[in-house]
Amino acid sequence: EAGVVQSPRYKIIEKKQPVAFWCNPISGHNTLYWYLQNLGQGPELLIRYENEEAVDDSQLPKDRFSAERLKGVDSTLKIQPAELGDSAVYLCASSLGRGSILSLAYNEQFFGPGTRLTVL
Amino acid sequence: AQKITQTQPGMFVQEKEAVTLDCTYDTSDPSYGLFWYKQPSSGEMIFLIYQGSYDQQNATEGRYSLNFQKARKSANLVISASQLGDSAMYFCAMREDPNTGNQFYFGTGTSLTVIP
């Protein structure tokens, strides 16, 4: 079974340029997450999708960040325009999102390899 | 207030010895899940172990065990018989009741170095 796929793996852009990241979750996973991970820190949730609906985007800086998950499968995260402080790793994860809400199967997140963004 | 607190930025352990990585959490939800992830230098997040808030017994997965002390809101990870490949960042995470729309919270991590 294929894991969570992310592309690109690395991206270097100049500030004020736009950038987009793509994520394809594990087949059958309803829930998709985008995280931001700064160097030496834990991941911080940007947005969570249940199927195609964004159910938690309170941490997404909406002035420059946007995301979509068309048809409830793959997802795109965009930054426009990028700032120096956006340099980080962007992680995508997916989980089954079905069954007992306290079960591991429901909650276990499978992470992609991440996209390392450098803004110059 | 921090939802997940990991107070050990770095830990060292001798190969073959056991090590405990500390994690405390803060929630008022009765239903929640606790997770530990490993992140090697290559960057991928690897799931290690899970504990549900209603689980009566401490979770175990091979050399990993979770010392769950609910009253103290503590969920420490114990790695037995450490191996060189255990050197990595370790993150404690919590998910509150998803029916309330709450999210996943990660701690700041503990860097573990296994010494030969």
Q: B57-108 pLDDT, tens per residue?
A: 999 999 999 999 999 999 999 999 999 999 999 999 998 876 665 678 999 9
d(CA A33, CA A47): 6
Return the SS3 of A104. helix
**What is the band of B43 on the pLDDT scale with cuts at 50, 70, 90?**
confident
* pLDDT tens-digit series, residues A89-98: 999 999 987 6
Option in B50, B97, B105 nearest A108 (CB): B50
CA of A104: which chain B residue's CA is closest? Answer: B50
- Looking at chain B, which runs of residues are DSSP E strands? 4-5, 10-14, 19-21, 24-25, 32-39, 46-52, 60-61, 64-69, 74-79, 88-96, 104-106, 110-115
Give the residue-averaged pLDDT of A26-48: 93
Percentage of chain B exceeding pLDDT 70: 96
pLDDT at residue A101, rounded to an integer = 65
The answer to whether B47 contacts A110, with C-beta atoms less than 8 Å apart, is yes
> Can you tell me which residue has the tokens 């960042």?
B89
Cβ of B45 within 8 Å of Cβ of A91? The answer is: yes
Chain A nearest C-alpha distance from B55 (Å): 10
The answer to whether A30 and A51 have CB atoms below 8 angstroms apart is yes
What are the Cα distances from residue B31, in Å, to A73, B51, B70, B95, B107? 28, 11, 12, 9, 19
> Cβ neighbours of residue B10 under 8 Å, at least 6 residues apart?
B110, B111, B112, B113
Residues A81-100 have a mean pLDDT of 90
Checking if the pLDDT of A99 tops 70, the result is no
Cβ of A56 within 8 Å of Cβ of B103? The answer is: yes
pLDDT at B102: 60
Q: What is the mean pLDDT of residues A65-90?
A: 94
Task: Report the percent of chain A where pLDDT is more than 90.
Answer: 69
- Between CA A84 and CA A92 the distance in angstroms is 21
Q: Which residues contact B74 (CB under 8 A, 6 or more apart)?
A: B22, B23, B24, B25, B67, B68
Cβ atoms within 10 Å of B21's Cβ, excluding its own:
24
B30 vs A: CB within 8 A: no
The more confidently predicted of residues A99 and A117 is A117
The mean pLDDT of A55-80, rounded to a whole number, is 91
What pLDDT was estimated at residue B4?
96
Evaluated on CA atoms B55, A102, B40, A118, the torsion sign reads: negative
Quick check: B45 and A102 CB within 8 A?
A: no
Residue A88: pLDDT above 90? yes
**What's the 3-state SS for B72-101?**
CCEEEEEECCCCHHHCEEEEEEEEECHHHC
